[in-house]
Chains A and B, each alone.
Chain A
Amino acid sequence: MTGQIIGRILESLAQLCLLLAIAPLVTGVIRALKARMQTRRGPGILQPYRDLYKLFRKGMVIPETASWIFAATPWIVFFSTVLAGLMIPMVAAEAPLGLFGGVLAVIYLLGLGRFFLALSGLDTGSSFGGLGSSREMTISALAEPAMMLAIFTVAIGAGSTSLTQIAGAAIGQNWRFLAPAQMFAFAALALVLIAETGRIPVDNPDTHLELTMIHEAMILEYSGPNLALVEWAASIKQLVLMTLLINCFWPIGLQPTWFGFGALQGIAWLLAKLVFLSCAIVLIETVNAKMRLFRVPELLAVAFTLGSLALISTFLF
């Protein structure tokens, strides 16, 4: 019993370190690849680490009108995202905190983070913050149902909402991916991934024009360590969603448990799949232009319909 608890704690620590370490790397890889595709030299892969280090050492400027929400939000966002990250299967099918919640918990934790981020955007009293918050909420209002439908499809296929079981059911059945329900769910989740992580064509993460920002507008007033926490949380959220997408649908290389040499193999497979997905994201970002805001609901409506089709297909196909 104690052995199990200690094992769990060790697993959680390992996954925590992995999350914290890899998240900025993924962001860096995506930026570097995008730069290369646009024939620029671009920042190095390790640049996000340097940015975080720099931000942690700087002082903070806090608006006078801000309340406790402004101060608390970076911590809330960071911890909720990390907690969500500990509940998903990354290297092993067993998620360390998987006992405490499955798919629904992950979605709600991420939603909690987003809620507080939107509140803090309003809290600063600047118009850009409000702008970002309202846009973010519009997008999430449409993206979340789509995500839920897609995840439920997968859950129904596996017979449980526990991510451990979902990933476990997926191990070893590689051609299951070709079933229409899985394909529709994958397509819906991919569209939602783009919306939630704020990538082109929904939002431009590199933009410096306030009027085109969504996520950046919400965090415009943050500086110093607060900004570092928020940015880190954003990249961890991106990692969480990408891992969710990968491990629910292509569980190749997913190990049954954390221990043994399988762990190293699992980490290697995870990194490989993440790089592959990053390339796909970069491709989508480079080929498309950012959509006008009132066209984004169209894209998300397609995602929603795909999600519902996925759900229907499990029963009817």
Chain B
Amino acid sequence: MLLIALLLIPVAAAVASFFVRRREAMEVVNVAGFGIVFLAAVALAAQVMAAGTVLLCNGFFYVDALSALVILLTASVALVCSTYSIGYLRDDQQSGALGDDLTSIEQIAHLRMYYSLTPLLVFSMLFMAMANNLGVMWAAMEATTLASIFLVTFYGKVTSIEAAWKYAIIGGVGLSMALFGTLVTYYAGHSLAGSDALSGLNWSVLAQHAAQLDKTSMRLAFVLILLGYGTKAGLAPMHTWKPDAYSEAPVPSAAILSSALLNCALYCLIRFYILTSRCLGPEYPGHLLLLFGWLSMGISVPFILVQQNYRRLLAYHTIDHAGIMTTALGLGGALGSLGLMLHMAFHTIAKSLLFLCAGNVSQHFRTDLFSRIKGSVIGAMPLTGVVFLMAMLAIIGMPPFSLFQSEFLIVRAAFDGGHVLTGVLFVLFGTGVFAGALLHVGGMILGPKGDSPPAGPRPWRDGSLLALAVALVVIGFWIPAPLFELIRGAAKVVSGQ
């Protein structure tokens, strides 16, 4: 069965990477594993589009269009990042970034940690998207945190440990709140007829009977869930771990964390939003979501404007987009949901592309600060420079790139639904981010040739970059019909038709 394959293969890849001796073997195992996972994810999406939903193990696994989309996005990001990381980690090994005093055996051990933890991380994300039981979903989310902590400490620097600690503690507290929310949800559904011990927390069961859930409890539950999973998504004011974690983790991990893991956190929020809006009506959860959306979009603007470190800038950008997607979810309705799903898909591609470009830059120039690069990117690495600039333009919403379409859809949903303030704030904050990002990144990329020599050939990294860039450009103009159908299906799940 596809689902079992999707779960077992990453675990097998992790275990295999743990036991092999040579670096090339680890790389092959990873790429092959993620390749098969990607194909399985595509096949699963096709199955879901044909059958509506896929259930397994007496309803333990539940995959609808929303899950299938999230799984597909996760699998694609994982695949691209694994091809990228081959080149990236080889460069790190040569340049001594893993640690100057490590012998080659210790370096291989270090790489082994990366190559075993990444498939485990992907496994937890896939498990989470497939789980029907809300408690199991929570456990998988906690597993993603635990798997990624040691990815953040990969370089072993003082700042890495600090970043990992913040990530662990803030994530831990957030997930405890989410657990509390899950518990209260279980309590709300406890009195439903026919809810026995095992299926009482199943999302499909709860969604069907949502109108009969206990209202007061659901109110409290939603607040807790929003605070809890919102922490994992990086919504303000629980966002403080994000800039640190994304700037300290190795770039492929940061790419996975910022695109795939963000999607997963939003997925959990969406599931609970559906339950709450069916129980209490869409205004209550919608208003709360809008509030957090405003906060996140608003907080990212000043930090982007005065940013000096381009990886932290990308992190704040992620916070901004988490806010955009939360706003879209809060707006609800057909337009809002479609905008949300489109944005999720486009953002995944664009954000991972951005992080990979940033990785290229940081490895070549050995610095994370704008002030030290000063415009020589395009001279030293033309391909990276062009792609970086293009991806930046895409992500801040410049037409004709795809993100413009999704953001436009969201603004339209805001004004159509009468949320004028939201629409205005959206445009305002978007402008701020636009200006800041373009200023900094443009200044970094475009400029006269600096002193650094041009970069040598880098097949793995540039190849992955190119693949994603092509995907980004193509999607701006033409979305393949099956993909669009999948996105539409996911939107229907959110908006309840």
**Quick check: do A and B touch in the complex, using CB within 8 A?**
no
B interface with A by C-beta (< 8 Å): none
